[in-house]
């Protein structure tokens, strides 16, 4: 569940011609920071849903949605700063600016592996 106070900064979507479980496992393999990481990470394989939250402002959500031709990958970047929203945007400026290219590269690598 998202925090009550949040701002959606970016939303992305792409289609991958692979079953949801395969997409989810490949995504989890790329995103999971492992134990001891300085960020919160939740992967729910039953819901095909991943949340990565780093620091005080940043939250990334990934959802794999099945369809008859494969899977739709949905990605949302949120600011979850409970105060200091302007500081959060300044702090995360680079993440926000590079997000479209980072998502494109992620989808490209998933397609290369799974399609």
Structurally, at CATH architecture level, domain 7-114 sits in 2-Layer Sandwich (3.30)
User: What are the residue ranges of helices labelled H in 1-115?
Assistant: 20-31, 85-91, 93-114
User: 0.85 exceeded by the pTM?
Assistant: yes
Question: What residue ranges do the domains of the chain occupy?
Answer: 7-114
Across-strand partners of 53? Answer: 40, 59
Answer yes or no: are the C-beta atoms of 18 and 70 closer than 8 Å.
yes
pLDDT in tens, 64-93: 999 999 999 999 999 888 777 777 677 778
Give dist(CA 25, CA 20) in Å, integer: 8
**DSSP conformation letters of 28-41:** HHHH---TT-SEEE
Residue spans of the chain under pLDDT 70: 88
Count how many residues are written for the chain. 115
């Amino acid at each position: 569940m998202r925090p009550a106070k949040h701002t959606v900064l970016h939303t992305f979507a792409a289609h991958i011609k692979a079953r949801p479980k395969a997409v989810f496992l490949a995504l989890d393999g790329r995103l999971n920071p492992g134990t001891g990481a300085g960020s919160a990470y939740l992967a729910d394989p039953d819901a095909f849903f991943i949340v990565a939250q780093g620091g005080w402002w940043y939250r990334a959500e990934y959802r794999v949605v099945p369809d008859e031709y494969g899977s739709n990958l949905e990605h949302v970047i949120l600011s979850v700063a409970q105060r200091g929203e302007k500081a959060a945007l300044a702090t995360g400026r680079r993440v926000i600016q590079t997000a479209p290219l980072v998502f494109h590269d992620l989808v490209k690598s998933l397609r290369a592996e799974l399609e």
